[in-house]
Amino acid sequence: MSVKHAISRGMELGRSAFQLGILKPAGRLAAKFRGERLRVSQPSRSVQPQTFLPARYRYYRMSLSGLAAQLQSGGFRRLIGGSPRNRVVFLAFGVGLGLIEQQLEDDRKSDAACQQIQALFQKKKFERPLKSFVSGYKLEDYVIGKQIGKGCNAAVYEAAAPFAVPRESEKCSLVELKSNSNEDSAPPRVPCPTSYPLAVKMMWNMGAGSSSEAILNSMSQELVPATPHALEQQEGELSLNGHFGWVPKTVPAHPNVIRVYRAFTADVPLLPGAAEEYPDVLPTRLNPMGMGNNRTLFLVMKNYPCTLRQYLQVCTPSRKDGTLMALQLLEGVDHLCIQGIAHRDMKSDNILLEFDSGGCPRLVITDFGCCLADKNCGLHLPYNSRWVSRGGNACLMAPEVATAIPGPGVFIDYSKADAWAVGTICYEIFGQQNPFYCPHGLEGRSYQEMQLPALPANTPADVQLVVRLLLRRNPKKRLSARVAANMLHLSLWGGRALATLDRASLSKLGDWLLCQSAFVLLKGRGPSGSSVEADLQKCFLSNIDLEDLRTAIGFLMYGRELHSAITL
């Protein structure tokens, strides 16, 4: 309930009392009400560690109940003298403040419930370590298979560890996906076994030298998603193949962010297809015309069936799956933002995909070679020279990044840049070409919001609203990844609770949050194997913030009211 709304309610109460000519009975009633407010509003003896006060009330730090009581008392003392209008207005202002105090008490209770839920689900770790990884800090510990990917800085090969027991992988070939997508009712995707559950990424070392320390310092961004045991430990210090180096800022485990299980340096081998695919980056001992160094960095990760771009080329997700895919990207970006990390190269080629036990696509963000993970500057990069890198993929560069002009004291704010890129990827998820990839498409530095094409008609209305708000040019008016994710969470699972929710009341929302928490906890006790929906619900409950929920609900209600008005 806003201050304006509360005071207006008090004014209406006072005006009605005056017009009906029952000021004396109304005074007795208000006096009784004031006495009840004084009794209820007495400070309790119980200790509250943190008193919640929403941002919109930050100028009312004093006790509103005490102020309301003083104004009401003053209003009764003025009953004998003064104009009737002033008496009623003065009394109404006090009653209005009393209503605000009641709303603040509800807010405190709701915020306390949110904090308890958040603390409970933050204890649930997403880390799922591979128990078979007891060694593997050398290239000789892995059996290398065929090449499965290649970018501008590295090549990726399928691999297996001799000591790792091959298991059933949640993989599915693109051929199978294409055949399923051509049928009216696609059968469940059946996992097919693989003897290469791992992937080894070999970085191309063109100018970092051949010492492990220099390689680690030069390619430290690739180690941002590394596990705590990714680098070999010797005598309590981290080292690469015996050479000590600088350890970069890392991100905790998250179901929608890739994990690097091992990282080490080794001599560059002649892997399958190397002489044909990337001869120029090979060292001279393998190619006399090559310009690469003898040693480079190797990263060991999980092997995923395909990238998001490859999947979308043969499959069109359903409405729900598409919403879940967009939500996963927002949750992954929000997790990075909380850690002070900006990916800066979000695109469908840098998003890997697999399937959970129910056949729902699970997305993970990968390739952190262009990320901003500086412990000193966080998400605000000093841009004092054009030589400062602004990230990769100029086509999906947010407007505030693309239009930045270097100069003294200039900073680029990346806090909402990745969320903007997710908004553009949503076009691809729902079966439309990315408007910023077209030959004559839009440009991040110059487009206008009215030029954005409409999403396909089968896209959920709430998703369309989120995408529009994510692609606002002004970052101050743009949704954060957290608020956008909350909107999709509420749209997916809010149901009847959201449909009957009022902006001024959070009691129904609190009840729904408690029921949702109980449901997720009970569901987690079922058979092993986490589903995409279960992980998303845990992410939502572990990041609950009352003000973010208010904002998300406000946008959803506004969007639905606007949609209803347009429909009518």
Locate tokens 């530095």: which residue?
Answer: 445
What residues does 200 pair with on adjacent strands? 157, 300
Question: Residue 36: exposed, middle, or buried by beta-carbon count in 10 A (0-12, 13-18, 19+)?
Answer: exposed
Q: Which pair of structure tokens corresponds to residue 323?
A: 């919403």
Say if residues 552 and 545 touch (Cβ distance below 8 Å).
Answer: no
- Kindly give, in sequence order, each residue whose CB lies less than 8 Å from that of residue 525, ignoring residues fewer than 6 positions away: none
Positions marked catalytic = 345
Residue 409 CA to residue 399 CA, distance in Å, equals 19
Using DSSP, state whether 479 is helix, strand or coil: coil
Taking phi first (over 0 means left), then psi (-120 to 50 degrees means alpha), and beta for anything else, what does residue 187 get?
A: beta
Determine the length of the chain: 568
User: Residue 413: how many CA atoms within 13 Å on its side-chain side?
Assistant: 11
Q: What are phi and psi of 16, to 5 degrees?
A: -65, -40
Locate tokens 């390689």: which residue?
Answer: 215
Which strands sit side by side in the sheet containing 361-365, from one edge to the other? Answer: 306-307, 351-355, 361-365
Listed residue (296, 345, 359, 289) closest to 139, CA to CA: 296
Using DSSP, state whether 238 is helix, strand or coil: strand
Residue 512 CA to residue 496 CA, distance in Å, equals 10
Say if residues 488 and 330 touch (Cβ distance below 8 Å).
Answer: yes
Number of DSSP helices (H) and strands (E) in the chain, helices first: 17, 13
Q: What is the DSSP letter of 377?
A: T
Using DSSP, state whether 233 is helix, strand or coil: strand
Q: Which pair of structure tokens corresponds to residue 22?
A: 């029952």
Residue 207 CA to residue 99 CA, distance in Å, equals 67
- Kindly give, in sequence order, each residue whose CB lies less than 8 Å from that of residue 95, ignoring residues fewer than 6 positions away: 9, 10, 13, 14, 30, 33, 68, 72
